[in-house]
Structure 1
Amino acid sequence: MNTILTSDRLVIFRNFDAERRLDLLKEVLATDGIVPYLGPGLLRLSSAQPTIPHTPEAVAAALNLRATAPSRIRTNMWSVAQFIEQRRHRRTLQAWMAEIFAAPVSPTMLHAWFATLPLSLIIDSWYDGTMRAALAETGRTDVVEIQGITRANEFGDIWTKSYDLSGTELELGRAARTVLYTPHGSVRPAANFLVSDSDYVEVLTEIDIQTPIPEVVQDRRTNRGLFFVGCRFDDQMLRTYARQIMKRSHGPRIAVIDAATLTKNERRFLAANAITLIDMPIAEAVARLAG
C-alpha cells in the first residue's frame, strides 16, 4: 500500500505516492506556497560523519569534553549547557559553542536550491549556518536573517537580532524578499545561541502568546504550510518549539522521515499537528526535489 492512515491518525505516503507528493511539493516550493523548516539531519547529506554535531546529544558530548557534567544530565544538551553556564559563566558557554560549530559546512544541493527560490520565509532550526552560507553564495542582497538570542546578555524586551548576509546587524523589522529565521540562534555572524535551560525558561514563558516569534515570521507563515526536512521531534523541547512556530500556519504540513525510526512521541506529535509523513530516506527525497 502506498498511502496509509494509521490508528493514531498519522497519514503516511510511501513508494509511488511519496514520489508524487514530492513532485507536487517541488511545485509549491517554487511558487512560495510552503515554508521549509530545516533540521540538523541535513548535515549528514554532506558527510556520514559531519564535522560538527548534528544532534543535541552530540552537542552534549562535545560540551562534556570541555567540562564533565554529572552523569544524570550528561546526554541532555540543555542541562549540560546550564551546568557550564552556572559553573563557568555564560561567556565560556558561548565561546565553547562557537568552537564546536566553527567548522564551515558546505551547503547541500537542497540548501543551494532553496537559495534560488523566491521563498518569503525559511526556518533553520540548527546552529550551523549552512542555509545562510547558501544564500550568501548566490550574491543576493534581499535577505535578512533573524536570529533568536539569549536574554542573558540583554536588557529590555529583546528576543531576536537581525543581520544581512554580510554580517551587519540591522534594525529589527527591516523588510526583505526572504527572511531566514533561526529561532535557536546560529554560530554566524555573532555566535548567538539559545542552548541552556535558562535560555528556554525565558522563551517558553512567552512563546504560547507568540511574543518571542518575530511579527514578520508570524505574518509570512499565515497563508503557507511547512515542510520539515532533516528534523526529528524526539525531544519535548524540539516539539514545543516546532508546535509554536507552526501555530496558525495555513497548511499543508509535511515531513520527510524514515517511518521505521519514529518514536511513539514523534508519531503522536505528527498526528496531533496534522503533519503528513513522506516515508523515504532523506537523501532520496532531496535528490528528487533538488536534483
Structure 2
Amino acid sequence: MNTILTSDPLLVVRDSDAEKRLDLLKKALAANEVVPYLGPGLLRLGSAETPVPPTPEAVAAALNAHARAPSKIRTNMWSVAQFIEQRRHRRTLQSWMAEIFGAPVAPSVLHAWLATLPLSLIVDSWYDGSMRAALAETGRTDVVEVQGVTRANEFGDIWTKTYDLSGREVELAPAAKTVLYTPHGSLRPAANFLVSDSDYVEVLTEIDIQTPIPEVVKERRTDRGFFFIGCRFDDQMLRIYARQIMKRSHGPHFAVLDAEMLTRNERRFLAASAITVVDLPTREATALLVPSDIGADGSQGHRAASSNFCCR
C-alpha cells in the first residue's frame, strides 16, 4: 500500500502513488492550478555545499560569528537577530544579513522551469532571491515581486513593498501576470529582511486577521491549492506563516517531505492543515517534476492543459 493514513491523521503518499501525484502536480503547475511555496531546502539541489545558509539554524550560526549571543538562544535565528538589533543597532543587523546572503546563488532547474510557467502566484519563503533571479533571466516584464518589510525602518501602516524585476519600486499592478511573494523579505533589490523577533511582533499581532497579507495574494490563492517544496515546518514561526498564507485557499495542498524526519509538531500542523505529504527526497521529486528536456535557462515549450488536480 503506497498511500497511508497515519494515526495523526496525516495522509502520506509513497512510491508509485507519490510519482503519480507529482505527475498531476506538474500538470497543475503548468495549468496555473496550484501555488508553489518554495523553501530554503531548494538551495541543496545544486550541491550539498550551499553558498548561503540553507536553514534558520545556519543563519543563527552565521550571525553568531559576528556577535556571539547567549547560549540559551544561540541556535534560534529570530532571537539571535533580536540580540544583535538591541546591542548593535538595526543597521548593523541588516548589513550583516546582506553580507551573509551576498554570495551569488544560481537558480536551480526547478526555479528556472517555474519561471517559464503562467503562474499567477509564487511564494518564496527564503532570503536568497533564487526565484527572482530565475524570473529575471527569462526577460519577462509581466512580473512583480511583493516583499515583506520590517516596520523598524518605516513610518505608518506599511507591511510590504513592490518591485519590478529591474529592482525599481513600483505600485502593485493587479494586471501583473505573475506575483512573486516573498513574505520574509529578500536580499534583492533592497535588503529587506524580516528576521528579528521585533520584526514579527506587529505582524503576528495582525496576521490572524490577514492584514499583513497583500490583497493580491488573497485574491490569487482563492481557487488554488498550495504545493510546498524545500520547506520544513519545525518552528512555530514557519508554521504560522504557512497557515496564514494558505488561509481561505481552495486546496488541495501537498508538501514534498521525508515523512520519517517529521517532528511531532510538523505532523500535527500538516494533518490539521490537510496537507498531503509526498514522501520523496526533494532532489528526486524535482527530477520527476521538471521536464527532461528543460534547458539550463528553463526554456521549453509547454501547454497549459487541465490536470484534474482537484480530484484526489
> Normalising by the residue count of structure 1, what TM-score does the alignment of the two structures yield?
0.99
Report the residue type matching 1:252 in the other structure: P
TM-fit CA distance, 1:171: 1.5
For this pair of structures, how many residues does the alignment match?
291
Paired residue secondary structure (2:66): coil
Question: Quick one: distance in 2 between partners of 1:281 and 1:158?
Answer: 38
Q: Which residue of 2 aligns with 1:10?
A: 10
Report the residue type matching 1:206 in the other structure: E
Q: Which residue of 2 aligns with 1:213?
A: 213
The percentage of counterpart residues that share the same residue type is 79
Question: Quick one: distance in 2 between partners of 1:87 and 1:131?
Answer: 33
Question: Quick one: distance in 2 between partners of 1:194 and 1:231?
Answer: 18
Gaps of 5+ in 1: none
Report the residue type matching 1:209 in the other structure: I
- After superposition, give the CA deviation of every residue in 1:63-96 in whole Å (9 maximum; x if it has no partner): 0000000111000000000000000000000000
- After superposition, give the CA deviation of every residue in 1:197-255 in whole Å (9 maximum; x if it has no partner): 00011100000000000000000000000000000000000001100000001001000
Question: Quick one: distance in 2 between partners of 1:94 and 1:181?
Answer: 20
**Are 2:153 and 1:136 equivalent residues in the alignment?**
no
Alignment RMSD: 0.7
Report the residue type matching 2:187 in the other structure: V
Q: Which residue of 1 aligns with 2:234?
A: 234
Question: Quick one: distance in 2 between partners of 1:201 and 1:104?
Answer: 31
Q: Which residue of 2 aligns with 1:200?
A: 200
Q: Which residue of 1 aligns with 2:225?
A: 225
After the TM superposition, which segments of 4 or more aligned residues of structure 1 sit over 3 Å from their partners? 172-175
Paired residue secondary structure (2:213): coil
1:48-63 → structure 2 map (5 Å cutoff): 48-63=48-63
TM-fit CA distance, 1:173: 4.8
Paired residue secondary structure (1:207): helix
Report the residue type matching 1:255 in the other structure: A
Question: Quick one: distance in 2 between partners of 1:223 and 1:15?
Answer: 29
TM-fit CA distance, 1:174: 4.9
**Are 2:21 and 1:21 equivalent residues in the alignment?**
yes
Paired residue secondary structure (1:269): helix
Gaps of 5+ in 2: 293-312
**Are 2:85 and 1:77 equivalent residues in the alignment?**
no
TM-fit CA distance, 1:175: 3.2
Contact 1:79 1:196 in 2 (8 A): yes
Contact 2:148 2:184 in 1 (8 A): yes
> Normalising by the residue count of structure 2, what TM-score does the alignment of the two structures yield?
0.92
